[in-house]
Amino acid sequence: MMKKSHGIPLPGGQEEVRMAGLSNSEISGNHFPPFRVDIPTLIKRMDDMEPMMIYDVYSRIFKGSMPRLYENEAVNLEQYYESYLETFISRDIKDLTQVADESAFFKLYVCNCCKNCHQCKL
């Protein structure tokens, strides 16, 4: 029986595994049981969470959920996400859509972000 791969193949038989960002509970350091759709459990979960001020909510949204940003507080957010976008465009988008001019695509991406969310800090 062959092993089922869950990642992107890399040279040398290695593979890159894509992982989701951290959850709000992980960032907060809370250790809740697995999520269940059960009203009493959800109410207890809400009661056990510490309330967040609106500034903290927006700060969390702006910072994102990438583990690297929480491992090292000295990471520059602008540089981190700029590098993230460059990697995304050069590795994922360029191969899928045959982008010839990465700079033009990046400008298009920024314009789209600005049009859709009015605040795109790059």
Q: Around Cβ 103, how many Cβ atoms within 10 Å? A: 9
Q: Rounded to an integer, what distance in angstroms lies between the CA atom of residue 86 and that of residue 103?
A: 10
Q: What is the pLDDT of residue 7?
A: 54
Q: What is the pLDDT of residue 84?
A: 81
Local confidence pLDDT in tens for the 122 residues of the chain:
444 555 555 556 666 666 678 888 888 887 777 778 889 988 888 888 888 899 988 888 888 888 888 888 888 888 888 888 778 777 776 666 677 777 787 787 777 777 666 554 54
Q: What is the pLDDT of residue 116?
A: 67
Q: What is the pLDDT of residue 54?
A: 92
What sections of 64-101 are H helices per DSSP? 67-71, 77-87, 94-97
What is the pLDDT of the chain when averaged over all its residues? 76
pTM of the complete model: 0.54
Q: What is the pLDDT of residue 2?
A: 43
Residues 6+ apart with CB under 8 A from 63: 69, 77
Find the helix or strand (DSSP H, E) in which 62 lies: helix 54-63
